[in-house]
Amino acid sequence: MLGVVALGVLIVVTVDRMVGHSTIAFAAAILLLLIANVPMLRFNCPSCGKNAFFRGIFVIPWPNRICTRCGEDLGRVLPKNADG
């Protein structure tokens, strides 16, 4: 995620140097960040559904190891076929 942020900044700076100020470069950087954020939004606790990257109202670039809502261990590997 930090690499994507750096890439977004690099896109904006490069376009600013070559063409001048452009809102299209900012839009491209925002779109890149939104696309990169999709996998983070899907990493939820299997028990309660709370996202593992949220710490209160803040989002951080590494997930919790233990769910802050229900206490589930998010580091353990779940079997692919838990039904039987």
* Ranges of each domain in the chain: 1-42, 43-84
Beta strands of the chain (E only): which ranges? Answer: 54-55, 58-59
- Give residue for tokens 């353990």: 76
- pLDDT attached to residue 79: 57
CA nearest neighbour of 46 among 66, 29, 31: 66
- pLDDT attached to residue 61: 79
pTM of the model: 0.59
Question: Could you give the 3-state DSSP secondary structure of residue 40?
Answer: helix
